Amino acid sequence: MYKNKWLMLLVNLLFIFLMFFIFAPKYDFLHFINAFFYIFAIYAIIYLFLFTVKGGFFDGIVFGFRRFNNKMFNKEDYLEEWKDKPLPSESLSMTFYQWLKSQTLLLLLLLLILLVLFYTI
């Protein structure tokens, strides 16, 4: 699924056209750009969240909660498995992250082209 980014870009564009034709009150260029932006915004929010996770921002928080849970409830865990559980940045799939990054950047590029066309025409 993540191998062909151009095919997924085509699927995203078809979804944008479908959303435009179903939900747009008027079929004009402005409403198409709005529909395009909604899909781009979803991709951008997910990508920025995964970027934060990949950077390790939540690793300390998750590790602290696991340690607190273990100490507070006094579990008799001699193996201390909470230390061996993977942190959020370690369990992130890099192929999905790279795919999402490429889709987000391609959609951003297309959105900027559409905005330039809108304001120059």
Q: What is the pLDDT of residues 37-80, one digit of tens each?
A: 999 999 999 999 999 999 989 888 888 888 888 778 766 666 66
d(CA 34, CA 114): 10
Is residue 108 a contact partner of residue 37, using CB atoms and an 8 Å limit?
no
Closest residue by Cα to residue 107 from 52, 54, 33: 33
Q: What is the pLDDT of residue 21?
A: 94
d(CA 83, CA 67): 8
How many Cα atoms are found within 13 Å in the side-chain-facing hemisphere of 48? 6
Alpha helices by DSSP H, 55-93: 59-72
pTM of the model: 0.83
- What average pLDDT score do residues 105-109 get? 97
